[in-house]
Amino acid sequence: MKNTLFLVSTATIALFLAGCGDKPPESASAVSTKPALTVTATMPESADWPQILKASGNVAAWQEAVIGPEISNYRITEVRVNVGDKVKKGDVLARIASDAVDSELDESKAAVAEAEATLAEAQALNERARQLREKGFYSPQQGVQTQTAADTALARLNAAKARLKSAELKRSKSSVVAPDDGIISARTATVGSLTQPGEALFRLIRGGRLEWRAEVTAAELARLHTGQSVHVQTPNGDEISGTVRAVAPTVDPQTRNGIVYVDLPPEAASRLSAGMFTRGEFELGRQPALTLPQAAVLLREGFAYVFRLDPGTGDLAKVTQLKVGTGRRSGERIEITGLPADSRVVAGGVGFLADGDTVRIVAAETAGKAQP
């Protein structure tokens, strides 16, 4: 009898519990609410960011001076500079053998002395003829002859002085000097070689100034103007600030690109080299941007996604995967388009989530300690 009552009571209790809807602790519903990840939440922030135009181009000398000999067929006896040396205006770069020039100079000096003596004699004869002509001993024709001889001697003296001046100038050109301050960028001068007309012995970057010649499309060319700020990258990843000096008035018909000339500061010569290919960015102005941390954006198969947090119970919420557009970047943040400004999204670890997952939301300072 007692056993029968126990069985009835047990069955009655089971039916009562079933009617009340109670389920075992390890039911499927309990398992489904287990969070896939512990995350922190963030919202888009509005920021005033600069508009950037990226371009590439070559670094070149602002102006390059070609230095050659001013006298030809003379032997170079000394070269004083090498590529990369900094020079000042008037510094001697090379010397040319001056033996032959010195002999020409001495010859010109002797010719001047001879012409001076001839002139003195002609002038004395002319003066004596004038005095005798006044006394009636010389005819007017003889006076004209002596005056002509004196004038001819004076002309010959002037010609000799001109040749002397030319020889002195030639003698001064036996030293090849720098026409301006700058950096030697090329050198072909060698000791023992003969100078040739039109030969370039050295090339000089005037003032040590470099410029960046950026190539941009015709459409982008219209957005650029003199005075805009530019940031040029160096090989080690640093940036050098420059300024747009000029915008080319023409476009290459083959490439459809135009050249923008960017002045670089003097210190750029120690970090960049003429002929180097590099990239840079033009600042076109500022424009508001809706931004998120880059860790909150998932890049997959060429598209960008964020995981929006849907309203949940307590600290649990489901995530919805949304495709968004991306734009400018600044530091650790990225511009987002196509996302409402009041959306709450997962701030990190998005690579471990899938659409519809449940997550546990914690404060940012406890995120590193929380466990999923």
Q: Choose among 265, 330, 323, 263: nearest CA to 291.
A: 330
Span 322-361, pLDDT tens digits: 999 998 888 889 999 999 888 899 998 898 998 988 888 8
Same domain, 41 and 84: no
Q: What is the pLDDT of residue 72?
A: 81
Same domain, 145 and 256: no
- Domain region containing 279: 52-62+210-287
Same domain, 234 and 270: yes
Give me the CATH number covering residue 274.
2.40.30.170
Same domain, 105 and 230: no
Tokens 């000799």 correspond to 160
Question: CA 57, CA 39: separation in Å to the nearest integer?
Answer: 44
Same domain, 189 and 296: no
Same domain, 93 and 178: yes
Question: CA 41, CA 324: separation in Å to the nearest integer?
Answer: 17
Same domain, 190 and 234: no
If one counts the domains in the chain, the total is: 4
Span 242-272, pLDDT tens digits: 999 999 999 999 988 999 999 999 888 888 8
Question: CA 116, CA 156: separation in Å to the nearest integer?
Answer: 9
Same domain, 306 and 191: no
Q: What is the pLDDT of residue 33?
A: 67
Q: What is the pLDDT of residue 17?
A: 41
308 residue type, one letter: R
Q: What is the pTM of this model?
A: 0.58
Q: What is the pLDDT of residue 137?
A: 67
Residues in the chain, pLDDT under 50: 1-31, 367-372
